């Protein structure tokens, strides 16, 4: 078997670990979501997330190794998310990974979370080969870039305010859908009429995005309706709001294809799990990772480690987490 890589991801509210082989085959991919724990607060509470990672990291890694049918001694490389993310949460994964490397003499490879999302495309039997145009849409980021080769990302556009996932989450909250909002809004929208309301899609220059306006428009729509009417309008609002966000993403992707002449388009990050976006992308012939690899996971981190810069063995204990890029 090709060399095995253990990937560890704890940047937000998923404690995740995976084993992949160096040719990109996923041997195991274990994700323990803390969503229920944070639901009562309406969003991720950083300190609560860190404490939960501390409890979960060991059993999640053990489960990933067990599902892959391997022991720690067979792992060639430990990959871990270094940033961006919640710094306390990141430190749990990073410290745990350092401990593993200290105990076993395995090499530590710190990985950027965003490179991880892009590297989700280099897993499994249908890997996307560069060069391609890549949209990364997650809870914290919305970026357009060119990927001329594996391990690179040349930025060509991004959001000026909220990330697309953040817009989904905040919209869901306004509609009383709780946390995590994106998937709940997606489900509700499936029973609604996307043309019931025309939410504005902000026009900004170049290949950038802006999602704060559409969120404000939803806020006003919700206020205008009041509690009673909101109940019957909720699904239509969700579908129309989702349509506005998805159209903005698709328009930019099409524009970027025109400008760059790129023939292959790929979309990564949690928002790539959105059903309306996936339908629109299919129409464009764009590629997406399987659903289990779109939202945060350890396999994408292990995948990115194959293209990450080397850290000298002697220096790995000094590697620190970073909250933003």
Binds 121: which of Zn ion, ligand KG4, none (CB < 5-8 Å by kind):
none
CB 298 within 8 A of CB 97: no
**Is 10 a residue that touches Zn ion (CB under 5 A)?**
no
β-pair type (14-21, 265-268): unpaired
Smallest separation (angstroms) from ligand KG4 to the CB of 259: 26
CA distances from 249 to 12, 170, 174, 181, 205 (A): 24, 17, 21, 18, 14
CB-nearer residue toward Zn ion: 171 or 298: 298
Smallest separation (angstroms) from ligand KG4 to the CB of 318: 26
The span from the CA of 135 to the CA of 158, in Å, is: 9
Smallest separation (angstroms) from Zn ion to the CB of 273: 11
Binds 13: which of ligand KG4, Zn ion, none (CB < 5-8 Å by kind):
none
H helix or E strand, kind and range, residue 175: none
CB-nearer residue toward Zn ion: 112 or 296: 296
CB-nearer residue toward ligand KG4: 24 or 181: 181
Smallest separation (angstroms) from ligand KG4 to the CB of 41: 15
Binds 302: which of ligand KG4, Zn ion, none (CB < 5-8 Å by kind):
none
> Which tokens is 301 given?
């981190």
- Taking alpha carbons only, the member of 18, 99, 20 closest to residue 54 is 99
CB-nearer residue toward ligand KG4: 107 or 278: 278
Binding site residues, ligand KG4, CB under 6 A:
12, 138-140, 165-166, 168-169, 180-183, 186, 269-271, 273-274, 295-296
Strands, E assignment, the chain: 4-9, 14-21, 26-33, 75-83, 107-112, 132-137, 142-147, 154-158, 265-268, 287-288
Smallest separation (angstroms) from Zn ion to the CB of 241: 22
Phi–psi pair at 321, nearest 5 degrees: -80, 150
CB-nearer residue toward Zn ion: 98 or 117: 117
Instruction: Give, as ranges, the residues between 107 and 166 that touch Zn ion (CB under 5 A).
Output: 138
H helix or E strand, kind and range, residue 208: none
Strand partners, 17: 8, 30
**Is 296 a residue that touches Zn ion (CB under 5 A)?**
yes
Placement of tokens 């023939």 in the chain: 263
Smallest separation (angstroms) from ligand KG4 to the CB of 239: 12
CB-nearer residue toward ligand KG4: 102 or 155: 155
Positions in the binding site for Zn ion (CB under 5 A): 138, 296
């Amino acid at each position: 078997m090709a060399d095995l890589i253990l990937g560890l991801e704890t940047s937000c509210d998923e404690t995740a670990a995976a084993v992949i082989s160096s040719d990109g085959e996923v041997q195991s991919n274990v994700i323990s979501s803390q969503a229920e724990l944070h639901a009562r607060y309406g969003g991720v509470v950083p300190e609560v997330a860190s404490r939960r990672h501390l409890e979960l990291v060991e059993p999640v890694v053990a489960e990933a190794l067990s599902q892959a049918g391997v022991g720690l001694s067979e792992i060639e490389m430990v990959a871990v998310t270094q940033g961006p993310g919640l710094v306390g949460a990141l430190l749990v994964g990073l410290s745990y990974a350092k401990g593993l490397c200290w105990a076993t003499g395995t090499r530590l490879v710190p990985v950027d979370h965003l490179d991880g999302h892009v590297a989700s495309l280099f897993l499994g039997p249908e890997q996307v080969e560069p060069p391609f145009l890549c949209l990364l849409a997650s809870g914290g980021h919305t970026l357009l870039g060119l990927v001329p080769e594996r391990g690179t990302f040349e930025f060509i556009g991004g959001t000026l305010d909220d990330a697309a996932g953040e817009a989904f989450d905040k919209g869901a909250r306004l509609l009383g859908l709780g946390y995590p909002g994106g998937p709940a809004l997606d489900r509700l929208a499936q029973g609604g009429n996307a043309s019931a309301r025309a939410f504005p899609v902000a026009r900004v220059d170049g290949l950038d995005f802006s999602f704060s306006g559409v969120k404000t428009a939803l806020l006003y729509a919700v206020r205008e309706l009041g509690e009673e009417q909101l109940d019957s309008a909720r699904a239509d609002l969700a579908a129309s709001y989702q349509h506005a966000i998805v159209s903005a993403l698709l328009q930019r992707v099409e524009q970027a294809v025109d400008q760059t002449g790129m023939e292959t388009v790929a979309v990564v990050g949690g928002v790539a799990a959105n059903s309306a976006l996936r339908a629109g992308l299919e129409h464009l012939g764009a590629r997406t990772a399987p659903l289990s690899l779109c939202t945060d996971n350890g396999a994408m981190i292990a995948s990115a480690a194959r293209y990450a810069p080397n850290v000298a063995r002697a220096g790995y204990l000094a590697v620190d987490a970073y909250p933003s890029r």
